[in-house]
Structure 1
Amino acid sequence: GIDVHPSTHDAMEYLERRGQTAVVISVDGRTEAVVGLIDKAKDEATLTVNVLRQVLGIEVYMLTGDNVRTATVVAGDIGIPPRNVIADVLPEGKVDAVK
């Protein structure tokens, strides 16, 4: 296994609260780096969400495999409220989550 130091958890949380997916890089079971990956929302996503919500009155949800911290930041960036974020969903669970 990998020994994860509390400072590694802090670094991961820091990145996730900024909408990044934290990735831990380890060598021989020792953490060497923590990096953040960003999956930027498409430019038209905000407009689409706003039209759906404000013009058509449709409640918009975000269903993702990302963790809740990252997902909430990304959703907020495009106008989806935190209460409408469903995070940590594995691919095989997404169909059931939509039903």
Structure 2
Amino acid sequence: MQDHGLFQAICRTNRLDGEDKDFGYIVAYKGLFKKVENAIAVYTSELDHSDDGPAPDVLLKDRLKKGKECLDQALERIVLLCERVEPPKGELEYIHFFCGNTEIASDLK
């Protein structure tokens, strides 16, 4: 695919349809990064950059960097979630915190 066709394919497969999706991945274009950059450059050169037009938002992001950010946020949430687990914070304490004590009938409800 050349410029326009390549860019259109990327837009279709990585369209951000809602608030729950912050980014998309370009995974089927391995080895074509330079062509992807060129296609985006051709597309963005035609965008309206005037003061009264909307700001174009075409970004290429490093998926590993973005993935690390998401992982770090998830780990932070897990640490906060597990703060209330009783010491010594072994396997049994985590089971009791998340599942209840199997020896106490009311915990199993």
Query: Highest CA radius of gyration, 1 or 2?
Result: 2
* TM-score higher than 0.5: no
Q: Which has the higher strand share?
A: 1
TM-score (norm 1): 0.27
- Return the structure number with greater relative CO, CA threshold 8 A, min gap 6: 1
TM-score (norm 2): 0.26
